[in-house]
Structure 1
Amino acid sequence: MSSIAIKFGIGKSTVSDIVKSKAKLEEFQTEIDDGDCTKKPRVVRKSDFPELDRAVYLWFVHQRCKGTPISGPLLSAKALQLYPRLYPDNPADFKAGTGWLRRFKDRHGVRCLSLQGESLSAAMMDVEPFREKFLKLVEEQGLTRHQMFNCDESGLYWKLMPNKTLVTSREKEAKAFKKPKDRVTIMACANASGSIKLPLLFIHKALNPRCFKHIDKNDLPVHYYAQKSSWMDSYIFKEWFLNRFVPLCRNALREKGLPERALLVLDNSPAHPDIVSNIYRWIDNMSLLATQHYIRYPTHGSGCS
């Protein structure tokens, strides 16, 4: 041990502790290799309640495999629920406080992430039937990627400030202003190849904002519309579809020397009227097929501690 201590510049007692902890260190390394533990080197500290620790972690992994959002308080609540079942003889020895939660997350490499997107909310049983129907439709109509379009709306909180900031060493906290709720709706539309991108559709509350005085809204780089709640509605979508999408799409395909035939894929929003749902029509001498996909995306939220 003396030669090892000299070689690595550590004390003999440290070498002795490492040798005594060989089994624990090997177990810890196995957990890292399996991807079930943090990769950051740290002091190995076993749980005082190993059966509970394993049970809570197995439950946590199972819930995350289903995409269920899990917060810190929810982990603590689950631990309190499982404890009396695993340790019926010691019902009052476990609190599942912030210290336990911090050590649990350290042992298993659990961290907090913001939820992104809505992919887990989709009705996945609808994906394959729609895919087969879509591919059959494309083959029947002889469409290329240049002729397949998709559009989708999104809310933009244009006054919202970042929720994090850099501070000086003297600042103990970072106070914030009230979050503004000013919102507009934008909708993007492009073809599958990315060669045709229509101007953004922009929906504001005001029909004639003061800042647009003496400005022709037709000269704006967006298609400007107004709605009292700045939401998309069927009237706006129909007007955009017939008077914006159809002529722009037709001209773009004509410039590329492609047949004036296009496919527009929509979601099943109530704002998308039936006039463009599952139809095959001639509009201004242009063959247009519009189809909706019914893969639902409900609202979502996030939070953890």
Structure 2
Amino acid sequence: MREKILVTDAAKGVTRIVKNRPAVLEEVEKLLLIWIEEKQRAGDTVSEAVICEKAKALHADLIREQPGTSGEPEVFKASRGWFERFKTRSGIHSVARHGEAASSDVPAAEDFAAEFLEVVSSKELRDIYVTPR
């Protein structure tokens, strides 16, 4: 079907834009998805910045391994826009954990919740004060 659409004549004044992504970028994204899955299984935190750095490193390695690429290397920036499109293309949406969510201490929070319930249950209702809004 796509071939039929591409061979049809476009209306006068309409420009057809077809982007062919380099095969190396496809390979980078495949390897990156595998790496992200491994990191998540290990319980490691992966943020947008870490993913972008890994993507740049993978791209540089793949370019270096390609035969006949002794000229000026292709530049891959792994920008925020690329990252957003990568998430859309790959179907991932909750990979990037960063900031306070990534640095939270889950065991300490669970201990606090248990301690808080103990304190609240030991007090009588008259000992609990609520500030009016």
Normalization by structure 1: what TM-score?
A: 0.27
* Structure 2 alignment gaps of length 5 or more: 6-18, 129-133
**Which letter maps to 1:187?**
F
Q: Name the structure 1 match of 2:28.
A: 52
Instruction: Return the alpha-carbon distance in structure 2 between the equivalents of residues 99 and 46 of structure 1.
Output: 17
Distance 2:28 2:49 in 1: 16
Gaps of 5+ in 1: 1-15, 21-44, 120-151, 156-184, 189-199, 203-217, 225-305
What is the deviation of 1:187?
3.2
Residue 17 of structure 1 deviates from its aligned partner by 2.0
Q: CA separation of 1:85/1:222 partners in 2, compared to 1, >3 Å: closer, same or farther?
A: farther
* 1:201 paired residue number: 119
**C-alpha distance 95-219 of structure 1, shift in aligned 2 (>3 A):** closer
Taking a change above 3 Å as real, the CA distance of residues 18 and 63 of structure 1, as seen in their structure-2 partners, is: farther
Paired residues, number = 99
Aligned to 2:112: 154
- CA drift of 1:51 comes to 1.2
Alpha-carbon separation, structure 2, partners of 1:52 and 1:63: 16
AA matched with 2:81? G
Question: What residue number does 1:231 align with?
Answer: none
Offset from partner CA, 1:143-194 (integer Å, 9 cap, x none): xxxxxxxxx7416xxxxxxxxxxxxxxxxxxxxxxxxxxxxx9433xxxxxx
Higher helix fraction: Structure 1 or Structure 2? 2
1:154–1:84 distance in 2 versus 1, CA, 3 Å: same
Aligned to 1:101: 83
Residue by residue over 1:242-276, the C-alpha shift from the partner in whole angstroms, topping out at 9 and shown as x without a partner, is xxxxxxxxxxxxxxxxxxxxxxxxxxxxxxxxxxx
Q: Post-superposition shift, 1:118?
A: 3.6
> In structure 2, do the counterparts of structure 1 residues 19 and 153 end up closer, same or farther at CA, with 3 Å as the change threshold?
same
Shift of 1:72: 0.8
Deviation digits for residues 48-93 of structure 1 (CA, Å, limit 9, x no counterpart)? 3111111111111111111212111111010111111101236342
The amino acid across from 1:154 in the alignment is F
CA RMSD of aligned residues (A): 3.8
Cα distance change of structure 1 residues 107 and 221 upon mapping to structure 2, 3 Å threshold: same
Closer, same or farther: CA 47–111 of 1 in aligned 2, 3 Å: farther
Distance in structure 2 (CA, Å) of the matches to 1:117 and 1:75: 23
Q: 2:2 is aligned with what amino acid?
A: D
SS at match of 2:112: strand
Is residue 2:17 matched to residue 1:17? no
The structure with the greater share of residues assigned to strand is 1
Aligned residue in 2 for 1:220: 124
Q: Is the 8 A contact 1:201 1:223 kept in 2?
A: no
Q: How big is the shift at 1:97?
A: 0.7
Q: Partners of 1:64 and 1:102 in 2: how far apart?
A: 19
Aligned residue in 1 for 2:93: 111
Maintained 8 Å contact 1:80/1:96: yes
Amino acid at match of 1:17: R
Supply the AA of the counterpart residue of 2:124. L
Q: CA deviation at 1:47?
A: 4.7
